[in-house]
Amino acid sequence: MEVLYITIGVSIIVALIFFFAFIKSVKSGQYEDTYTPSVRMLFDDELVTVKKKDEKDEKESKSIKNN
């Protein structure tokens, strides 16, 4: 029976530690932007494609200027 009191006490202490860690992370702004990370994976391919296209256009414009 004594073990039950010890485990309840330890579990309450651990729960309080996690609760305070959560409050600290909320106050520091950890959870402010919840939309961008979920959408970022949808547009990563488009951004890479646009960057490659821009690099290709720059190379072509440099080669035209050199001629």
Residues 54, 14: Cα–Cα separation, whole Å: 52
Per-residue pLDDT at 13: 98
Phi, psi of 35 (to 5 degrees): -90, -45
Q: What is the mean pLDDT of residues 35-54?
A: 67
Per-residue pLDDT at 30: 81
Q: What is the mean pLDDT of residues 39-61?
A: 66
What length is written for the chain?
67
The structure's pTM equals 0.50
Q: What is the mean pLDDT of residues 62-67?
A: 62
Residue 52, pLDDT > 70, answer no
Let me know: does 31 contact 25? Beta carbons within 8 Å.
Answer: yes
